[in-house]
């Protein structure tokens, strides 16, 4: 599995990524501030490629969300809106058609993309993991505990 997290050190804004997480037996070093972050590789992570607890903070509460490329999704909508606006007077069919197409493309992306498991406490993201049945979608009440 692949892990991605923001360097927790104050003032450091590095986005750290490592694949596979299982190789991080000696911790993960931030490429920017050189801080070494300890990771805990649980049995579940090592043997089943499944996250039962966050490897970085040990939190056992994680949620699942679709790995939607938000910038791409938004980009498609913006481009469609511009084309729609420009063609509104000259070609009404194109104007509406392009908006409908944008919705269909976004939906298609939504269905083919995978999921990402996210830690409630430190927001570390795990991709390419085996499904953990106990994880649910994002829950605001749960999130407010942290
Ligand atoms: Zn750092
Ligand atoms: Zn965490």
Question: How far is CA 86 from each of CA 16, 73, 82, 103, 116, rounded to the nearest angstrom?
Answer: 42, 20, 6, 18, 37
Contact yes or no for 41/55 (Cβ under 8 A): yes
* Predicted local confidence at residue 69, as pLDDT: 87
Give residue 37 CA to ligand 1 midpoint distance, Å: 9
Per-residue pLDDT reduced to its tens digit, 10-24: 999 999 999 999 999
112 exposed, middle or buried (CB, 10 Å; 0-12, 13-18, 19+)? exposed
The alpha carbon of 126 and the centre of ligand 1 are apart by a number of angstroms equal to 19
Going from the Cα of 69 to the center of ligand 2, the distance in angstroms, rounded, reads 22
Return d(Cα 62, Cα 97) in angstroms, integer.
40
Q: What are the residue ranges of helices labelled H in the chain?
A: 43-48, 70-87, 92-112, 140-143
Q: Mark the residues whose beta carbon lies below 5 A from ion ligand 2.
A: 54, 56-57, 59, 119, 121-122, 124
68: which 2 tokens? Answer: 């939607």
Whether the predicted pLDDT of 43 surpasses 90:
yes
Rounded CA-CA distance 31/29 in Å is 6
pLDDT tens-digit series, residues 82-135: 999 999 999 999 999 999 999 999 999 988 999 999 999 999 999 999 999 999
Distance 55 CA to ligand 1 centre (A): 17
Give pLDDT tens digits for 54-79.
Answer: 999 999 999 999 998 889 999 999 99
Mean pLDDT in residue range 39-54: 96
Q: Measure 18 CA to ligand 1 centroid, in angstroms.
A: 14
pTM over 0.75: yes
Per the CB < 8 A criterion, the answer to whether 50 and 65 are in contact is: no
- Closest ligand to Cα 8: 1
**pLDDT attached to residue 70:** 86
Asked if residues 118 and 65 have their Cβ atoms less than 8 Å apart, the reply is: yes
pLDDT tens-place string over residues 123-134: 999 999 999 999
């Amino acid at each position: 599995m692949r892990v991605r997290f923001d360097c927790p050190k104050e003032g450091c804004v590095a986005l750290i990524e490592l694949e596979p997480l299982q190789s991080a037996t000696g911790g993960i070093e931030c490429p920017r501030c050189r801080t070494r972050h300890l990771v805990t590789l649980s049995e579940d992570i090592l043997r089943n490629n499944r996250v039962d607890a966050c490897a970085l903070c040990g939190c056992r509460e994680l949620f699942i969300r679709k790995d939607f490329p938000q910038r791409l999704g938004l980009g498609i909508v913006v481009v469609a809106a511009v084309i729609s606006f420009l063609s509104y007077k000259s070609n009404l069919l194109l104007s509406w058609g392009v908006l409908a197409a944008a919705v269909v493309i976004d939906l298609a992306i939504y269905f083919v993309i995978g999921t990402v498991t996210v830690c409630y406490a430190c927001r570390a993201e795990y991709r390419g993991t085996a499904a953990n049945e106990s994880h649910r979608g994002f829950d605001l009440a749960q999130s407010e505990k942290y």
